[in-house]
Structure 1
Amino acid sequence: MCGSVVLFWLCASAVLVRDGLCAPPPPKEAWNYVEVRDGAHMFWWLYHADAGFRELPLVMWLQGGPGGSGSGFGNFEEIGPLDRDLQPRSTSWVKAASVLFVDNPVGTGFSFVDRADGFATDVSMVASDMLVLLQNFFTERPEFQSIPFYIFSESYGGKMAAAISLELTKAVAQGSVKCSFAGVALGDSWISPLDSVMTWGPYLYTTSLLDDSGLADVSGAAEAVKQAVEQQSFLKATELWSVAETVVEQNTNGVNFYNILTQESEDKRRFSAAKDFISLQALRHVSPLQRPSLSQLMNGPIRKKLGIIPQNVTWGGQAEDVFSNMAGDFMKPVVDVVDQLLSAGVNVTVYNGQLDLIVDTLGQEQWVKRLKWDGLPGFSKLRWTPLDDPASQGATGAFYKTYKNFSFYWILKAGHMIPSDQGAMALKMLKMVTQQD
């Protein structure tokens, strides 16, 4: 067998063979469903750390969207042991932690609902569902109860992670969830949507992607979003946010919201054919997380490997419904939740990509400066510290500041999906946040 080439690890006990050499077996894995509410089924997938799970932390990864799948995009495009072509990933996070991917909210990825009224409609409902899953997970796997548990997130996943972390902190204190919660990391996170939108214009202008007229157009569209938010008209604000994105696209000739150095590669005809602003936003921000090649992988070999996916469930099939049901909650900020986490002594990390537009670093810095946390003055006085780029000797890969239980990482040369753009730097940050480096 060692003389052949095996491209898939479809059997969990198979030995991976490539280029005539026997490689170690894949990481120990487990996966299952939890019914978090009647008719609402959430899927999770666990990889044990390469070096042994008892010596390393457990990290739960939450994708954005809402409607993006951690078991798919986060796993095979960002931090899992294998990439989309099922080749080993040199910067996989299983080198430094056990990783738990959860398709959250229900309806995302392989998660599904039985009825149309089963989708979550706000982050409070998302947090409640996740607490049921975590209670089940740690009860069924008591070996992880004493292991440091971190929540890492990306994009809208960060908004959900903040709410989940606050409820988890309460549940641990009450004893209803038995785990060693050690902190939350908010990556390019939708914590204060308005701060992101209001800084799009200045950020694009200073990077020569808008002229004076374009800046005026984008700033005007952003101001309309601001007025809707101030009036607490959050569904209207989501619609106007969609309009603002269209104004950005028109004035930049299609800049990519996930990395300003590239142009949007999606077929614009699909965007123009969208039936409403919800459909348009799902196309913009959920479709890139489930491109055809990834969908084929998840609905083909991976579905076969897992062996528990119901016949009527398609990976990503309910993603637009997930997004549309959260539309009224989409533009609501959760800065106050971050403040509560910091006041409760929870370790909070913010990390952001230099080239991200949808959640630009300028916007992240704006809401951080408004925190009511009593450590903010001390944090603000600190100078940042440069970090070497592990993938480029002599180059700076990031800057960071840490004060008490709050850290901020500025990741250079990365867009919205930091582990995809700067995998080595993301892995180094993971080790630092989890106190391994």
Structure 2
Amino acid sequence: MFRKTTPGIFQRSEPQMGQCRATSVLLLFALTASKGLQSPVGGKEAWDYVEVRDGAHMFWWLYYADSQFVNYQEFPLVMWLQGGPGGSGTGFGNFAEIGPLTLDLKPRNSSWVQAANLLFVDNPVGSGFSYCDKPDCYATNVATVASDMLTLLKRFFAKVDEFQSVPFYIFSESYGGKMAAAISLELTKAIAQGEVKCKFAGVALGDSWISPVDSVMTWGPYLHAISLLDDHGLNEVNSAAEAVKHAVEQQQFQKATELWSAAESAVEQNSNGVNFYNILSQTAEDTWASSEGKNLISLQALRHIRPLQSQSLNELMNGPIREKLRIIPENVTWGGQSDEVFRYMAGDFMRPVVNIVDQLLTAGVNVTVYNGQLDLIVDTIGQELWVQKLKWKGLPAFNKLSWTALDDPTSPGVTGAFVKTHQNFAFYWILKAGHMIPSDQGPMAFQMMKMITQQV
């Protein structure tokens, strides 16, 4: 634990939760003053490592809900999982999306910490500040990812036991959704068997890589419909997508991953570099230039991990944040193993997990799907396709419902999203948002989170 002595300075005191460290206020020492944070942001934190397997170390960071009027235990606990695989929740999700501070270390108006305790975890092992001591420690499939997270959650709820009775939700983004589905299923089983003490309340799958082939197969039609592909480009993209589909049908998932990267190249070349994370922008020219000579797996990491590790975020995490945390090993660099994480997971990357979502719904777990209108990599059309593949008994009734319009919290009377809910399944369509919904539409994402966690 750290004990506050003078403004912005912390001294070490004996830890009260194993090796967990905590702060009494959210300050990044005196360094934050020079980076634009003018006043403290009240809030308690904790962070630690868990060795989930021999040589595999996973890092977590907890922010307690920050309210002057309500005790933190009256708010839910929300765990956030980033995509990639290889993206860092403690970095990108924290400072670029939903954490209490922005990249400039200024208070975020739409931070989820106003209505939830936030748990960021760098997973799979090797992402962010998590690290592997040896090559065989990297996860190669989502089953290992789920097993690792279950080990972490067992330790977390045992050490920070005041959260055992607090409603626990898993929120995710991109590949994080695929991991979240698998983790949720294993957690549900572990709770039933008495292996984990927690009050699991639901999982939210944001722009999630649940059925990769459904996303890929809809890229062409989607871009053609909004005038970002001509007929020639549509044919090329559709042809590349069909190759991906064939490989998936043949269970050749490593090959499917490589062909997926080729399909992305076809999209970029025929659309003059449309950005996969938001169709209203283009891929940066330096990314195009640095992609030359890369093999397909390396190119995937460049496209889908680099956006989560900007230079400014790298400097923040490996500078002031590293100094604040004081537990990061000297030989570990934030994000330094992310490319390896992606490479080791490549053989499992294109494998669908629709069946896992089905099992969650059948088990009575609350499942939410939410998607950004402007996302391409996991477009809404593809999400709707895999939802229709569910064998869940409530699907016919869900399909008969009309959606409900939700006002944009910042513009009353202006629609910010649509939602449809039936039994333990919900779908949110978030307008004017790309792949990273909290980054693009922070207030709407915050409102959605409160609705999902039953605070509205």
Deviation at 1:22, TM superposition (A): 8.3
C-alpha separation in 2, matches of 1:206 and 1:185: 29
- Secondary structure at the aligned position of 1:54 is classed as helix
Q: 2:61 aligns with which of 28, 41, 45?
A: 45
Q: Name the amino acid aligned to 1:399.
A: F
Note closer, same or farther for the CA distance 1:91–1:230 as it changes in structure 2 (3 Å cut): same
Give the TM-score taking structure 1 as reference length.
Answer: 0.96
- Rounded to whole Å, the distance in 2 between the matches of 1:214 and 1:15 is 50
Q: Aligned residue for 1:35?
A: 51
Hey, what's the Cα distance between the residues in 2 that align with 1:195 and 1:413?
A: 22
Consecutive unaligned residues in structure 2, runs of 5 or more: 1-5, 12-22
Which of 391, 394, 413 aligns to 2:410? It is 391
Pair 15,400 (structure 1): closer, same or farther in 2 beyond 3 Å: closer
Which residue matches 1:243? 262
In the TM superposition, what is the alpha-carbon distance from 1:394 to its structure 2 partner? 2.0
Residue-by-residue CA offset, 1:392-411 (whole Å, 9 max, x unaligned): 23210000000000000000
Per the alignment, in what secondary structure is the counterpart of residue 32 of structure 1?
strand
Q: How does 1:29-428 map to 2 (within 5 A)?
A: 29-51=45-67, 52-265=71-284, 267=286, 268-274=288-294, 276-428=295-447
- Compute the displacement of 1:271 (Å): 1.0
In structure 1, the residue matched to 2:452 is 433
Q: In structure 2, the residue corresponding to 1:59 is in which secondary structure?
A: strand
Counterpart of 2:311, as a letter, is: P
* Structure 2 CA distance for partners of 1:10 and 1:368, relative to 1, 3 Å: farther
Q: Secondary structure at the match of 1:394?
A: strand
Structure 2 match to 1:3: none
Contact 2:94–2:100 (CA under 8 A) maintained in structure 1:
yes
Q: Is the Cα contact below 8 Å between 1:10 and 1:304 reproduced in 2?
A: no
For structure 1, which segment, 44-53 or 179-188, has the greater mean C-alpha deviation from structure 2 after superposition? Answer: 44-53
SS of 2:383 mapped into structure 1? helix
* Preserved contact between residue 7 and residue 86 of structure 1 (Cα < 8 Å): no
Distance change (3 Å), C-alpha of 1:205 and 1:24: same
Q: 1:356-401 CA distances to partner (integer Å, 9 max, x unpaired)?
A: 0000000000000110000000100000000000022321000000
CA distance in 1, matches of 2:205, 2:94: 18
- Aligned AA for 1:284? R
Q: Does the Cα contact within 8 Å between 1:15 and 1:22 map onto a contact in 2? A: no
Q: Name the CA distance, whole Å, in 1 between partners of 2:127 and 2:267.
A: 28
414-423 or 15-24: which moved more? 15-24
Q: Evaluate the alpha carbon distance shift between residue 28 and residue 244 of structure 1 in structure 2; reply closer, same or farther with a 3 A threshold.
A: same
Partners of 1:25 and 1:402 in 2: CA distance? 36
- The verdict on how the C-alpha distance between 1:308 and 1:393 changes in structure 2, with shifts beyond 3 A counting, is same
Q: Which amino acid aligns with 1:30?
A: A
Provide the rounded CA distance (Å) in 2 between the counterparts of 1:170 and 1:262. 42
Question: Which secondary structure does the structure 2 equivalent of 1:124 belong to?
Answer: helix
In the TM superposition, residue 26 of structure 1 has moved relative to its aligned partner by 3.1
Q: What is the Cα deviation at residue 27 of structure 1?
A: 1.4
Q: CA deviation at 1:7?
A: 12
Paired amino acid for 1:28: K
Letter in 2 for 1:153: S
Could you report, residue by residue, the CA deviation over 1:72-100 in whole angstroms, capped at 9, with x for unpaired residues? 00000000000000000000000110000
- Aligned-partner Cα distance in 2 for 1:394–1:248: 36
Question: In structure 1, how many angstroms separate the alpha carbons of the residues matched to 2:255 and 2:8?
Answer: 47
The 1:159/1:279 distance shift into structure 2, 3 A limit, reads: same
Contact 1:10-1:302 within 8 A present in 2 as well:
no
Paired-residue identity, %: 71
C-alpha distance in structure 1 between counterparts of 2:321 and 2:348, whole Å: 32
Q: CA deviation at 1:265?
A: 1.5
Decide whether the 8 Å contact of 2:86 with 2:128 is kept in 1: yes
Equivalent residues of 2:37, 2:106 under 8 A apart: no
Alpha-carbon distance in structure 2 between the residues aligned to 1:60 and 1:14: 21
Letter in 1 for 2:51: E
